[in-house]
Amino acid sequence: MAPRRSDPEALVAALRTGDRSALARALSLVERGGEGARAVGRLAFGHGGRAYTVGLTGAPGAGKSTLTSAVIGELRGRGEEVAVLAIDPSSPFTGGAILGDRVRMQDHALDDGVFIRSMATRGHLGGLALAAPQAVRVLDAAGAPWVLLETVGVGQVEVEVAGAADTTVVVVNPGWGDAVQAAKAGLLEIADVFVINKADRPGAAETRRDLEGMLDLTMSMHDAGVEGSTSWRPPIVETVASRGQGGDVLWESVLGHKAHLERTGQLAERRARRVEDELRTIIVRSLEQRALGIAGGDRFGALHAAVVDRRTDPYQAADELLEAASGASS
């Protein structure tokens, strides 16, 4: 019998046996958030710990989806299975026509060794930060040895999510300023491997030079710090993903970084740090739920009106609401 639509226990049991429809439904629960997401995540946590996660990020239009497709092809050529989680800023249109750039990934849609999922989580602060690790955990529990996490690399939450992988690949394009834009978006700090995609276009050499220059600067900062000889200089790989070029070299670089993390003990450190970040985020989110309770209460409307009329200011009003809420809950 098929598991009930929303029974987390049955879904997790089924997805562990390779049931893709159970996997898809479990991910939908995670995407929706709330108690269902929590239950699925907790159950999945008990059956995971083996997947290696690779984040893939860059500006809109950098060719992330095409590159993801090239990496899938490379992994399949090596006989490896892979799951892909593509995180998009959502919009009323996400369901339909504008997913055109996902089309290439559908090359692999009928391949049993590949699982691809688009995930849209906009609307609440911190939603993405919690949903992404839960979704990875579910894919891990389903037995995916490799999980590719594709996100758009602009925006503070999105960059944090992209950086929360075992290996993070940052994609830039040739042309003046692209490396600089990546640095401005905070991508330099999270990159373990750089890809210059569309490397057949003019300007690849300049982009490489810009990246090398910025790396020289950060690496010398690191060397002066505590990390010492365990520091890793991100290699710069050139690809033309639309023609299937460079996926092999990129994957070798990912494996090189993985070996480095394992050799130096940094993989365990990184994962422990990620758990710490997640714990903090969960605590914040729980308190946010409490905040929503406050914002839904009677006092809120009255104090909101007082701020609109400038009889009080937002911070004063918030203080009064928080005080009333602590009184009520104790």
Minimum CB–partner distance for residue 328 and a copy of itself (Å): 12
Applying the rule CB under 8 A, the residues between 103 and 142 that interact with a copy of itself are 122-123, 125-129
Report the residue from 21, 106, 220, 316 that binds a copy of itself according to the rule CB under 8 A: 316
Report the residue from 20, 42, 50, 263 that binds a copy of itself according to the rule CB under 8 A: 42
Instruction: By CB under 8 A, tell whether 328 contacts a copy of itself.
Output: no
Q: What are phi and psi of 19, to 5 degrees?
A: -75, 105
Nearer CB in complex with a copy of itself: 23/317? 317
Q: Is 127 helix (H, G, I), strand (E, B) or coil?
A: helix
Instruction: By CB under 8 A, tell whether 29 contacts a copy of itself.
Output: no
Applying the rule CB under 8 A, the residues between 228 and 267 that interact with a copy of itself are none
Nearer CB in complex with a copy of itself: 43/114? 43
Instruction: By CB under 8 A, tell whether 225 contacts a copy of itself.
Output: no
Minimum CB–partner distance for residue 113 and a copy of itself (Å): 27
Alpha carbons 186 and 207: distance in angstroms, whole number: 17
Give the helix/strand (H/E) hosting 161: helix 156-163
Instruction: By CB under 8 A, tell whether 13 contacts a copy of itself.
Output: no
Applying the rule CB under 8 A, the residues between 50 and 109 that interact with a copy of itself are 59-61, 88-94, 98, 100-101
Q: What angle do CA 29, 31, 35 make, to 5 degrees?
A: 50
Kindly list the distances between the CA atom of residue 294 and the CA atoms of 286, 289, 304, 311, in Å, as whole numbers in the listed order.
13, 9, 12, 20
Q: What are phi and psi of 283, to 5 degrees?
A: -60, -45
Instruction: By CB under 8 A, tell whether 307 contacts a copy of itself.
Output: yes
Instruction: By CB under 8 A, tell whether 9 contacts a copy of itself.
Output: no
- Among candidates 200, 151, 204, 205, which has minimal Cα distance to 174? 204
Q: What are phi and psi of 126, to 5 degrees?
A: 85, -10
Beta-ladder partners of 55: 149, 168
Applying the rule CB under 8 A, the residues between 274 and 293 that interact with a copy of itself are 275-276, 278-284, 286-288, 290-292
Q: How many residues bind a copy of itself (CB under 8 A)?
A: 82
Q: For the chain, what is the largest distance between any 2 Cα atoms, rounded to a whole number of angstroms? A: 68
DSSP letters along 87-117, please? EE---TTTTTGGGGGGGGGGGGTT-TTEEEE
Minimum CB–partner distance for residue 311 and a copy of itself (Å): 11
Applying the rule CB under 8 A, the residues between 149 and 178 that interact with a copy of itself are 152, 154-159, 177
Q: What are phi and psi of 277, to 5 degrees?
A: -60, -40
Minimum CB–partner distance for residue 232 and a copy of itself (Å): 18
CA 29 to chain centre: 17
DSSP classification of residue 2 = P
Nearer CB in complex with a copy of itself: 79/329? 329
Instruction: Tell me the two tokens of residue 110.
Output: 């009928």
Report the residue from 195, 236, 261, 317 that binds a copy of itself according to the rule CB under 8 A: 317
Nearer CB in complex with a copy of itself: 181/230? 181
Nearer CB in complex with a copy of itself: 31/88? 88
Cβ contacts of 290 within 8 Å, gap of 6 or more = 325, 329
Q: What are phi and psi of 113, to 5 degrees?
A: -90, 5
Instruction: By CB under 8 A, tell whether 302 contacts a copy of itself.
Output: no
Nearer CB in complex with a copy of itself: 14/128? 128
